Amino acid sequence: FRFKDSLAEDMGRADLVISHAGAGSCLEALEKGKPLVVVINEKLMNNHQLELAKRLHRDGHVLCCNCSTLVETLQSMDLSALKPFPPGQPEKFAVFLDEVSGVQ
């Protein structure tokens, strides 16, 4: 898509999501329980997406590749090996903020 307000409906119907390694895109797919292939854009300055992609891959939540290895990754992938992404725990962050800010 060139531009679309939301991909939530498309992601909801998808059997597989192929995405760049932007945090929002990755987390949205993983929270929906969708298998995810992350394609790293190696041309980005400081390649800031690489760290997130590598961590999610190392933890077994995504398959990771670059543009030149995408076809090979799709041909050899084993989606059954992917681990579900654990749900968020926003209450832990709220408790941390309360402690740091001194709110009782």
Look-up: residue for tokens 């670059």? Answer: 66
Report the predicted TM-score, pTM, of the whole model to 2 decimal places: 0.81
Each residue's pLDDT tens digit, 37-90: 999 987 766 777 888 899 999 999 999 999 999 999 999 999 999 999 998 888
For the chain, the C-alpha Rg in angstroms (whole number) is: 16
Domain at 7-101, CATH homologous superfamily: Glycogen Phosphorylase B; (3.40.50.2000)
Residue 4's pLDDT band (boundaries 50, 70, 90)?
Answer: confident
Of the candidates 23, 75, 10, 27, the one whose C-alpha atom is nearest the C-alpha of residue 49 is: 23
pLDDT score, position 11: 92
- What average pLDDT score do residues 23-37 get? 94
Interatomic CA distance for residues 41 and 19, integer angstroms: 10
Q: Say whether pLDDT at 99 is over 70.
A: yes
Nearest Cα to Cα of residue 32 among 11, 47, 46? 11
